[in-house]
Amino acid sequence: MTESLGARLLRILLTQRIALLAVLIVAVVVTFFVQDAGGYLTAPYDFDYMSAALINAVPLAMLGLAELLVILSGRGGIDLSVGAIVSLAGMVFGFAYGEWGWPLWAAIILTALFGALCGALNGFLVSFIGFPALIATLATYYAYKSLAIVINDQQPISTKPIQQLFSISESVELPLFGQYVPDVPLGIFTFLLPTVVAVWVLLARTTYGRRLYAIGTNDVAGRWAGLPVRDTRFKAYVYAGLLSGLVAVVTVGQFASARPDAGVSGNGMALPAITIAVLGGVAITGGIGRVAGVVLATLLIVWLNAGILLAFVGNEGSQYQLLALGAVLIFAALLNGLTNRRYGGTS
């Protein structure tokens, strides 16, 4: 039987998460542009505003990629501690660069390695001890959060070198054609793009990436095939911790201060990162997920939140952002379930 055009478009939108996210991004942007033209927003929603909002995409996308790695590893893989690692690693960075006078590059490497060490503890508990990922990372979330608070007697580190790091959060003009487009936050080029490329290469062009997809789909079959299941899953948590350490450097630059609550204040960074991963098409059962989906889901969330802030006066906007985040998470979960039942999964 020949498939109708409508049914074909529906199948493409449900099974091709990249196509669906692209449509949703256009819908969100057009909606706020129309509201702006009608005078319903408190400030202009234009390309300059959208470009400036990308500064929020840097930590969110990087942590979304961290969740991608651990969720891909299967067996209920998830990391609730990424926000707490950001807080604790940020304090380590504050001490190294702001207090001890380490060179910037050395402090960044130390912070990334410390984040990887925190992730290694998660990986050890999950992969070798056999703890459920939810329980293991919830426990380390509390531990890392507590250490971040007490390590400097609840005080942030805001020495002059730390304050000067705010320059990494500034927007820059693109070379050659920068005069025709809005300035772009520097963190997009110094942190986010290298991370996106590195994770894509890891998943799509290395043996480790193929093993991660394999054990996430069926770790019993992977074990019978001779794959190092525990080691592969362990490394996924290590990489997630390493990315969280790099996010710590980004947040210190954005706040111009190493804050002990940087990754856990409010609703923390972990839940938005998990939401982005699920919205990006990452199957919570493991083995399915793409880097491009996470990046597009981040853009959708960032530009949606930016528009909501302009649609309401005062702090109502930030509260409605939480409502939108919850609605998006439910939408993504329902969509994943519907797609799995009707078409067998998302690509």
d(CA 95, CA 101): 8
- What pLDDT is recorded for position 328? 80
pLDDT band at 129 (very low <50, low <70, confident <90, very high): very high
In a domain, 40, yes or no: no
What average pLDDT does this structure show over 75-99?
Answer: 95
121 located within any domain: yes
The whole-number average pLDDT for the span 57-74 is 95
- Of the two residues 295 and 316, the one the predictor is more confident about is 295
pLDDT higher at 271 or 207: 207
Give the CATH number, domain containing residue 274: 1.10.3470
Residue 24 lies in a domain: no
DSSP, collapsed to helix, strand or coil, labels residue 157 as strand
| Average confidence (pLDDT) over 284-307 | 92
Which residues lie closer than 8 Å to 16 by C-beta, 6 or more apart?
346, 347
Is 3 domain-assigned?
Answer: no
- Domain assignment present for residue 231? The answer is yes
Domain that holds residue 336: 45-342
Residue 325 has pLDDT above 90, yes or no: no
Residue 5's pLDDT band, with cuts at 50, 70 and 90, is: confident
Name the 3-class secondary structure at 258: strand
DSSP string, 104-130: HHHHHHHHHHHHHHHHHHHHIIIIII-
Nearest Cα neighbor of 289 from 297, 277, 302, 298 is 277
The reply to whether 84 falls in a domain is yes
pLDDT band per the 50, 70, 90 thresholds, residue 99: very high
- State how many domains the chain has: 1
The pLDDT of residue 125 is 97
Per-residue pLDDT tens for 218-264? Answer: 889 989 989 999 999 999 999 999 999 999 999 999 999 999 999 88
What six digits make up the tokens of 194?
């290298």
Give domain status of residue 278, yes or no.
yes
pLDDT in tens, 167-214: 777 888 877 776 777 888 899 999 999 999 999 999 999 999 999 999
| 21: in domain | no
